[in-house]
Each structure stands twice: as structure tokens, then as C-alpha cells.
């Protein structure tokens, strides 16, 4: 190979100088950064769909005297990558970071937002700590959290007739917390907990013995206090054992429309789960779904992707309300304004944001339809029960958030 020392040195020098230019923020442009998982386990829940929903919100908001720019990046579910990107974005003039699934990343970005005094709306993480012990004046938590999932699935399920429960729990802090919270709601609603089995986490892939144990308890509902691949495996194996066909309900505590789509109705039928949005809920949700569909590559919106639409719209309203210069100056003030003005959009309806950063919306308990009941694409859910916005989330004084004055 003819590669002289001199040409090598010249190439090296040229490469070294190249990346010196940096993006500069413009005074009249509001920048929204969507930070989520584009390549890992949460991609199909939000990922590119969350970005498309944010862009749709910007398009619907229209020209209001300032420009809006949407950028996005993949945090690869690594807290250090996420926190690093968040720092960089905020320093380079991004005014809002949106989405951020995976609790460890979500909490890390919340710290960065506080440090930089910039707005942060988390729609993707489930941890209720974001509005509890770890709450910040710059953070808003949209759509859902573990408390809301446990409450809706736990108490609404008992009201719908599922009054005896058996838990299949991943043996780590998250699983324990889900099981504990849900069991409390089951008991509070008058149901009974027949028992629980804890399986080693991670790396359990064969759930058959646990499922047989759950079935032997004769409970009407098997609660799966786990997430992700574990939940999917449990559902598949329960379908093979014919558990759901014998009238036992499987209750997933953390699951989305995209997961049901991936499993297929044959396997997922009879599954019970909670979401705060379903496209076929009412005229407004159908209307927003119609507008979003052309941008989603054939997928239907679920609560995680559409929450970005709702949150971005509300953020832009607050920016318009207080003016671009004031909005750029202080994330705390911007979030205070977001808390002060009422939320209303087609996806989640009317709502509000509490002082601890919690966005309030109703939660819905759904049952997955059987293939025979399903009439069209993504016609997957039937509504079992609704928890109104005021009751769906943890009471303000129980979260331990320092922003709440008692």
C-alpha cells in the first residue's frame, strides 16, 4: 500500500480540525429534543413513533410567531449516554427534553434538567419516584407511573369480578414494589391474595412450574409483577398451558398496545392491562389517531407515543403564553406556567398538572379481545373499567415530594 507518512499526517490534521463547528441556538427558535430508545427493547413502544407524534404536535400547533425545531437521539438505555446527551442538548439551546423511557435514564435526566434549569417532560419512565422523593421543579411526568398501573389493574380488576389474586413476581426491587402496591389495592377493594411465587431475575425464561403453581392456587387472576421480555414469555407460556382459556385472567402490570400487537391476539386474548390512552376510546382519540396514522408507518399510537404529542402541545401552549424569551430564561418558570394553565388535547382530554409535576389523566382497564371479536386492524381492546383522573394517581401528600407544602 502506498501510504506515505506525510499524507497520513495531513489526513490526520484535516480530520482533527473538521468537527470544530458547533450548533448555535437561535433566539426565536424553540428546540425540543426527543430522547428515547431507537434500537432496544422500548423502540416499538415509542422510539420513532414518539418522534413522529412530537412533530405532529408541532405541525398542529402551527406558526405562532416563533419557530419550533424537533431533534431526537437514541439514549441506548444507558443512563450515562442519556445524561450526557441531555447536558449537551441543554447547553446547546434545547428548551425541552421529552420522552426518556427506562427509569434509570429518566431519573438521571431529571437531575440534569434541574441543574441546567430547563424544562423536562418524562413520558416514558414508569417510576413514581419522578414525582415523589426525586421530584424536581423542572420535571413533569406525563401519562403513567407504577402507582397508577397498580391501582387501576388492582382495584378496577376486583370491581370487574377478579377478586382472588396470585402473583408471579420477578425477584428484584421493581417486581417486589409492583407486587406490594397491587396487592394493597386488591385488598383495599375487597379482594383476596391467595399467594405469590418469586422467580429469579434476570435470566428466567421457563415459567411453566410457576404457572402451574399459580393455577393450583385456584385464584381468578394471575398478576404478573414483571416487565418486558419476562411478561411476554409468561403470556406465551400461559397460552400454551391453556390457562386463560379456562377462565383465569392474566393481569399484566406494564404492557402496551405495541406488545399486544407483537404477541398477536391468539396468544394475548383475555389478557388484562392498564393504559391511559386507546385509539378507539372516543371520537377525539379516533380523530387524533386519524391525523397521526400517515406518519406512523402502519403502527397505531399507544399511550407512550401519543403522550409525546400531548406533552409537546401543552409545552408549546405554555411557551406562547409566557413568550419565547421568558420561556428560554427559566425552566422552572416555564414548568410553573405549564402547571398553571389547563391541559386539553384530543389524546388525553382535559387535564391538569399537579404541583409535584404529576400530569393527571384517567386510567383505563382493558381486556384483550379474542381473534373472533376483533373487527379490524388494531381492534384489540375492550374497556373493563375507568379510574377518574382525580383518583388514578398517588395522593399528593403521600409521595414525599419536597415541592408539596403540607
Contact (Cβ atoms closer than 8 angstroms) between residue 109 and residue 85: no
Contact (Cβ atoms closer than 8 angstroms) between residue 267 and residue 369: no
Around Cβ 1, how many Cβ atoms within 10 Å? 2
Interaction with another protein in 186-205: which residues (CB under 8 A)?
Answer: 201-202
Report, in Å, the least distance between residue 28 CB and another protein. Answer: 23
Query: Which residue blocks in 33-172 are alpha helix, DSSP H?
Result: 47-61, 79-91, 103-116, 146-151, 157-159
How many positions of this chain bind another protein (CB under 8 A)? 41
Preceding omega of 296 cis (within 30 degrees of 0)? no
Which of these segments, 36-44, 316-324, 364-372, 378-386, binds another protein (CB under 8 A)?
36-44
Contact (Cβ atoms closer than 8 angstroms) between residue 365 and residue 274: yes
**Residue whose CB is less far from another protein, 35 or 365:** 35
Nearest Cα residue to 159 out of 196, 180, 186: 186
Query: 39-58 burial, b for 16+ CB within 10 Å, e for fewer?
Result: eeebbbbbbbbbbbbbbbbb
**Residue whose CB is less far from another protein, 149 or 248:** 149
Distance CA 403, CA 387 (A): 26
With CB under 8 A as the contact rule, the residue among 46, 56, 103, 267 that binds another protein is 103
Which of these segments, 85-93, 309-317, 325-333, 340-348, binds another protein (CB under 8 A)?
85-93
Residue 39 interacting with another protein (CB under 8 A): yes
Interaction with another protein in 312-371: which residues (CB under 8 A)?
Answer: none
- The CA-atom distances, in angstroms, between 67 and each of 25, 27, 70 are 12, 10, 10
Report, in Å, the least distance between residue 329 CB and another protein. Answer: 21
**Residue whose CB is less far from another protein, 5 or 375:** 5
Contact (Cβ atoms closer than 8 angstroms) between residue 222 and residue 168: yes
> Which residues does residue 359 pair with via DSSP β-bridges, in sequence order?
353
Residue 157 interacting with another protein (CB under 8 A): no
Q: How many residues does the chain have?
A: 406
**Residue whose CB is less far from another protein, 62 or 200:** 200
Report, in Å, the least distance between residue 337 CB and another protein. Answer: 25
Report, in Å, the least distance between residue 335 CB and another protein. Answer: 18
Residue 124 interacting with another protein (CB under 8 A): no
Residue 174 interacting with another protein (CB under 8 A): yes
Interaction with another protein in 44-83: which residues (CB under 8 A)?
Answer: 47-48, 71-81, 83
Could you list the residues that contact another protein (CB under 8 A)? 3, 5, 8, 19-20, 38-39, 43, 47-48, 71-81, 83-85, 87-88, 91, 103-104, 107-108, 111, 127, 129, 134, 171-174, 201-202
Amino acid at each position: 500500500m502506498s501510504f506515505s507518512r506525510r499524507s497520513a499526517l495531513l489526513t490526520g490534521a484535516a480530520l482533527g480540525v473538521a468537527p470544530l463547528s458547533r450548533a448555535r441556538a437561535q433566539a426565536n427558535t424553540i428546540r425540543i429534543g426527543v430522547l428515547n430508545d431507537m434500537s432496544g427493547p422500548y423502540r416499538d413502544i415509542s422510539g420513532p413513533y414518539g418522534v413522529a407524534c412530537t412533530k405532529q404536535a408541532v405541525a398542529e400547533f402551527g406558526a405562532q410567531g416563533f419557530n419550533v425545531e424537533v431533534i431526537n437521539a437514541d439514549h441506548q438505555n444507558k443512563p450515562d449516554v442519556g445524561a450526557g446527551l441531555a447536558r449537551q442538548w441543554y447547553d446547546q439551546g434545547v428548551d425541552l427534553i421529552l420522552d426518556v423511557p427506562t427509569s434509570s435514564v429518566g431519573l438521571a435526566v431529571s437531575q440534569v434538567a434541574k441543574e441546567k434549569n430547563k424544562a423536562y417532560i418524562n413520558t416514558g419512565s414508569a417510576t413514581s419516584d419522578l414525582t415523589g422523593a426525586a421530584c424536581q421543579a423542572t420535571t413533569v411526568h406525563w401519562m403513567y407511573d407504577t402507582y397508577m398501573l397498580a391501582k387501576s389493574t388492582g382495584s378496577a380488576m376486583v370491581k370487574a369480578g377478579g377478586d382472588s389474586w396470585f402473583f408471579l413476581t420477578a425477584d428484584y426491587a421493581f417486581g417486589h414494589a409492583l407486587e406490594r402496591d397491587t396487592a394493597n389495592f386488591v385488598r383495599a377493594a375487597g379482594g383476596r391474595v391467595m399467594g405469590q411465587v418469586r422467580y429469579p431475575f434476570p435470566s428466567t425464561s421457563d415459567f411453566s412450574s410457576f404457572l402451574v403453581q399459580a393455577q393450583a392456587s385456584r385464584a381468578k387472576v394471575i398478576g404478573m409483577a414483571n416487565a418486558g421480555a419476562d411478561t411476554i414469555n409468561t403470556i406465551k407460556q400461559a397460552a400454551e398451558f391453556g390457562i386463560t382459556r379456562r377462565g383465569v385472567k392474566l393481569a399484566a402490570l406494564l404492557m402496551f398496545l405495541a406488545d399486544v400487537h407483537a404477541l398477536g391476539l391468539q396468544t394475548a386474548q383475555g389478557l388484562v392491562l392498564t393504559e391511559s390512552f386507546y385509539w378507539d376510546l372516543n371520537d377525539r382519540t379516533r380523530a387524533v389517531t386519524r391525523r397521526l396514522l400517515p406518519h406512523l408507518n402502519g403502527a397505531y399510537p399507544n399511550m407512550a407515543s401519543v403522550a409525546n404529542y400531548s406533552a409537546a402541545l401543552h409545552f408549546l401552549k405554555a411557551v406562547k403564553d409566557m413568550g419565547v424569551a421568558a420561556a428560554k430564561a427559566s425552566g422552572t418558570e416555564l414548568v410553573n406556567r405549564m402547571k398553571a394553565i389547563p391541559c386539553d388535547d384530543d389524546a388525553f382530554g382535559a387535564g391538569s398538572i399537579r404541583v409535584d409535576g404529576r400530569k393527571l389523566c384517567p386510567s383505563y382497564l382493558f381486556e384483550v379481545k379474542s381473534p373472533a371479536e376483533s373487527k379490524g386492524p388494531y381492534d384489540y381492546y375492550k374497556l373493563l373499567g375507568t379510574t377518574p383522573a382525580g383518583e388514578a394517581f398517588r395522593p399528593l401528600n403521600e409521595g414525599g415530594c419536597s415541592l408539596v407544602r403540607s
